[in-house]
A and B are shown apart, each in its own frame.
Chain A
């Protein structure tokens, strides 16, 4: 699957395209198929996202898992600061990232 990510313009938060809006949680990310470029340009022009790009991901039982470790780290937060990750209570978070 292809998913769309970027940063919130005001806060810089990592965000994921849900198909309707942007979410801070990668589990909400929607498969954009071949429509990624069109969504990307529209949303960036509307300043709802900054520096967006399309990545490959795989669908898992826990939701989309970005294909590259860099985007997996983006999805959860720094692996060295579990207090700053989005899913600190998730016992599988560590495994998921690596």
Chain B
């Protein structure tokens, strides 16, 4: 894992003291809210429905046990004993007091964490594959590149006031576990025919009110020019992105309106100019970063044998364990989707426990997933049973990864001032309706994603089944969408038709899943059947 150098630490410590002074001035009345608001947002502090909300960055979703334990400490000491892991691989606290915020940021800084650039029209937390460095299907670990991007984008003066917020994802596998093409810039590390490392660039994706899948604009950028190419992409956006209308200000609109070819032409022109200036980061810096992402000291003799005689354990292994690149090891996903629970929420005790388990079983590493779960990336197979037993006792062992009850849900109207409808109660009711694990497994992989407003923090456009909460004359109403995917087969879900009440949309989901079971052919997932059968058949089943 990356460790701060003196510059990183000084930047973060200095920012904490700067914000402490700003809070003091706000409380003393020397700053108005209009003056203070952009300052607090630069430090991830929002004013939400019930209180201040602090969003803490977890760079590319990677943390140590010590960092995770600090998140538990903050939940316990400053919040109401829980935190909410988000679809941006971050964590949010919902009940923060303004006067506590500087101390919280100081606590975070003590473990090399911060909340900088988790809000505002800047480059946000870089997201990545939660299996990075552990999975067998990647060509390189994407995290050194994500870290390089993090350092490049932190306090980048040219990109601190972009037309709108800006999100990167970096992956290194043909299997997309990070919804890469639904980011402003998606980067996939690839090898060219000569076996050299480089990057494919996808620009102009996103969800929100105008969802778009990012088109590929370059199939190979040499690895040592990756930052310059990213900078060229941003420069064109910064120059021409619309600032007159926030709903048309994301880069996806610019790429769409200019056209992919013209946008790419301008980026290439800028890139050629930048390459003349020699602005690529020094190779030594990438080498310095990369050394922090070496493989942990795996036991080469670790056994691949696994005793699956406990049926509940066997189910968990089948559902929540992924293949590791190192024989004798496994990637374990801890589902934060218990029956009837709140997706992504974890108590301070659960956070502490996951920190302990990372230290004990996973070389002190955890990952946050965009599906609001936690991953222990490097677990010896011989430790899996003991790990599972401990998780099970703490309510952290639902065997439902990628099943219908492993839903994504934004905070919705229960917490968010932008929301039009509640998301969490819907997720809870669906979790109860489909609680039978046998039924869930019969349905197989089914990505259900719920957003409480058009901003789409719950990724409803990318759900095999998506739900969008809307406000219909002051009443919550839910639109049902089908056919989305955030994976390598990215697609945007379409609205089925008129919306439903809360119970009505759950009935409609049941109708849809029943039709899938009736229509599916061998080996088809829900999304495959939907794509083959088409929307009309599903609409007919739902609306008659």
Contacts and interface: CB of A to CB of B under 8 A. Distances in A.
Instruction: Tell whether A and B belong to one assembly.
Output: yes
Contacts of B33: 44, 50-51
B166 to A, nearest CB: 26
Contacts of A50: 33, 47
Given A12-B50, A77-B50, A80-B425, A68 B474 contact: yes
Of B52, B342, B424, chain A has the most CB atoms within 10 Å of the CB of: B52
Contacts of B414: 73, 78-81
B428 A69 contact: no
B97 interface: yes
A78 B428 CA distance: 14
Nearest to B29: A47
Contacts of A10: 27, 97-99
Interface residues of A, number: 23
Given A9-B27, A47-B29, A80 B413 contact: no
B49 A73 contact: yes
Query: Main SS of the interface on chain A?
Result: loop
B412 to A, nearest CB: 9
Contact of A12 (B26, B51, B415): B51
A13 interface: yes
A11 B51 contact: yes
A50 B23 CA distance: 14
A11 B97 contact: yes
A47 B28 CA distance: 9
Contact of B51 (A7, A44, A47, A80): A7
A30 interface: no
A12 B96 contact: yes
A93 B97 CA distance: 26
Interface string A56-82: 000000000001111001100111110
A80 B80 contact: no
Nearest to B417: A70
Interface residues of B, number: 29
A14 interface: yes
A44 B50 CA distance: 18
Given A68-B474, A78-B415, A13 B98 contact: no
Interface string B94-120: 111111000000000000000000000
Nearest to A76: B50
Contacts of B422: 73, 79-80
Nearest to A67: B474
Interface string B329-357: 00000000000001000000000000000
A52 to B, nearest CB: 10
A74 B27 contact: no
A80 B410 CA distance: 13
Contact of B425 (A67, A79, A84): A79
Contacts of B99: 10-11
A31 to B, nearest CB: 20
Contacts of A68: 474
B50 to A, nearest CB: 6
B83 to A, nearest CB: 13
Nearest to A70: B413
Given A70-B413, A73-B413, A74-B49, A9 B98 contact: yes
B52 to A, nearest CB: 4
Of A11, A67, A69, A78, chain B has the most CB atoms within 10 Å of the CB of: A78
A78 B94 CA distance: 10
A74 B424 contact: no
B224 interface: no
A13 B95 CA distance: 8
Of B50, B97, B422, B474, chain A has the most CB atoms within 10 Å of the CB of: B50
B426 to A, nearest CB: 10
A91 to B, nearest CB: 19
Interface in A1-17: 7, 9-14
Interface in B137-169: none
A24 to B, nearest CB: 11
Interface string B63-90: 0000000000000000010000000000
B80 A84 contact: yes
Contacts of A84: 80, 95
A68 B475 CA distance: 8
A68 B49 CA distance: 13
B474 A80 contact: no
A55 to B, nearest CB: 12
Contact of B98 (A11, A14, A67): A11
Given A7-B51, A70-B413, A80-B414, A12 B342 contact: no
B476 interface: yes
Nearest to B80: A84
Interface in B419-464: 419, 422, 424-425, 428
Contacts of A13: 50-51
Contacts of A9: 26-27, 98
A78 B97 contact: no
B529 to A, nearest CB: 32
Given A50-B47, A51-B47, A78-B414, A69 B27 contact: no
29 contacts: A9-B26, A9-B98, A10-B27, A10-B97, A11-B51, A12-B50, A12-B51, A12-B95, A12-B97, A12-B98, A13-B50, A14-B51, A47-B27, A47-B29, A51-B33, A51-B47, A68-B474, A69-B476, A70-B413, A74-B49, A74-B50, A78-B94, A78-B414, A80-B342, A80-B424, A80-B428, A81-B342, A81-B414, A84-B95
Interface of A: 7, 9-14, 44, 47, 50-51, 67-70, 73-74, 77-81, 84
Given A69-B475, A70-B417, A79-B422, 9 more contacts: A7-B51, A12-B51, A51-B33, A69-B474, A73-B49, A73-B414, A74-B49, A78-B94, A84-B95
